[in-house]
Amino acid sequence: MSSTVLCERDGAVAWVRLNRPDKLNALNAELLRALGATLDVLAADRTVACAVLTGAGEKAFAAGADIQAMLAMSPEQARAFSEMGQRVFSRLERAPFPVIGAINGFALGGGCELALACDFLYASDKAKFGQPEVNLGVMPGFGGTQRLARRVGIARARELCYSGDIVGAEEAYRLGLVNRVVPHEELLATVKELALKIASKGQLAVAQCKRVLFSGADVPLETANALESQAFGVLFGTKDRSEGMSAFLEKRKASFTGE
């Protein structure tokens, strides 16, 4: 197993760390493969109710794709690298549990694209975001043009991708890129509190919320509502639904089992 991605468990919460701090967690093929393998293991583990993705070290979530590794790529190799990143990020986006991005520093280029594949983001007040690929004569290749537009709107995405501008955490919050900005030293504790809260809820219900929100985002409202009704009905066949409603009526805390 590659050491470029570390994974630890805190109960039902999985903590996943990009681990190339000497390279500001730059994304190369080895790290992408390791991240994909880690996600596959977590997705197969029904005891995982939430995950947190962050970067090792104090400076970066991920400062971008590894430029040194890309320098000698041919067009065919570059396309294959782009497709690899897109496959891994899609697995992250479609994981059967929420993934919170804890953005502890630079999230630039490929790092910003990786952040965008998370369900939502909490950012350190020291975090920086941007798609500066045009400064290198290239463009986002890991899904950044598409996810950024869906997150902040097409006009803002065009501005950021065309200019290569880097924005701070407060501006990212104003744009709707991140959900919350917290003092740097409080980031992981704040995210942990939220992750544990999510993990304490009905795991199957949260998973269905994620699936329907994702699947319904780009289809007509009538189709999306049908997806919601189907998922709503499915949950009524679970033990967690019975436990949750019984606990509410009995004025006690529910004990969910993911069944």
166: phi then psi, degrees, rounded to nearest 5: -110, 135
Question: Which candidate in 8, 93, 133, 259 is catalytic?
Answer: 133
Q: Is 259 a catalytic residue?
A: no
Distances (CA, A) of 142 to 134, 145, 224, 253: 14, 8, 26, 42
Q: Among residues 60, 166, 145, 160, which one has the least CA distance to residue 103?
A: 60
Question: Which candidate in 113, 159, 170, 186 is catalytic?
Answer: 113
Q: State how far the Cα of 233 lies from the Cα of 228, in Å rounded to an integer.
A: 9
- Residues with Cβ within 8 Å of residue 56, at least 6 apart in sequence: 6, 17, 18, 19, 20, 21, 25
Q: Is 133 a catalytic residue?
A: yes
Distances (CA, A) of 73 to 35, 67, 145: 22, 10, 21
Residues with a catalytic annotation lie at 113, 133
